[in-house]
Amino acid sequence: MKKSILIIGAGPGLSQGVAEKFGDNGFNVSLISRNASKLAELKNSISEKGIEVNYLAADAGKSSELTKAITALISQSGGFDVVLYNAAVLKQKDILEESAEELISDFTVNVASALIAFQASYSTLKERKGVFLITGGGFGIHPNADYGSLSIGKAALRSLAYQLNERVKAEGIFAGLVSVAGLISSKSETHSPKILAEDFYQLYTERKDVEIFH
């Protein structure tokens, strides 16, 4: 049975790097993000490398929509060995300018839906002794008031990763995150999608340390 990875919050940057890394190692790839036309473009780009790709459009800010898409892709693919939660509201905004409504809305995408994604894929990960990966951030350890909501989200997301791993490791599931402390760019010598994808693959293969700080 061929292995499969699901990437939530898929786009042409980090998640494409991860998709291609796992795809090069024999994985089929499934993608979820909000924009169907951009997903189609991403599928075509990844497929050019001989990787099998399918996708569904869903909004990570809507739990029922996300759960429905994950369930459908599990059915289509036969299950997942790896799930990566990469969705986030990336914005620069001073913490004193944030409203409760915005914080809650951002938190839904940045954190709560990561838990929803795990819950929706829990059965398939348990069956396959799989891995749940999260894209963390340096703000989770070193918060920045200029990125108030995102800093709160990354801190909570880091906590979630550790909690999930502690909760499900006895069931053969591993949960971990890569805390990215730098600007992701294809031209970066330290934080390109290709380089960071190696960290996610290391978490998958080693299943040892919950977190890689890069």
- On average, the pLDDT of the chain sits at 98
CA gap 4, 29 in Å, rounded: 6
CA gap 196, 119 in Å, rounded: 26
pTM: 0.98
The closest alpha carbon to 139, from 131, 149, 128, 125, belongs to 149
CA 164, 99, 90, 140 dihedral sign is negative
What does the domain layout of the chain look like in residue ranges? 4-213
pLDDT tens digits along 6-42: 999 999 999 999 999 999 999 999 999 999 999 999 9
Q: How much is the pLDDT for 1?
A: 81
Residue 180, helix vs strand vs coil: strand
Q: Pick 4-213's CATH classification: 3.40.50.720, 3.40.50.2300, 1.25.40.10, 1.10.1740.10.
A: 3.40.50.720
CA angle 71, 77, 83 (to 5 degrees): 65
Rounded mean pLDDT, 106-110 = 98
CA gap 188, 192 in Å, rounded: 5
pLDDT tens digits along 67-103: 999 999 999 999 999 999 999 999 999 999 999 999 9
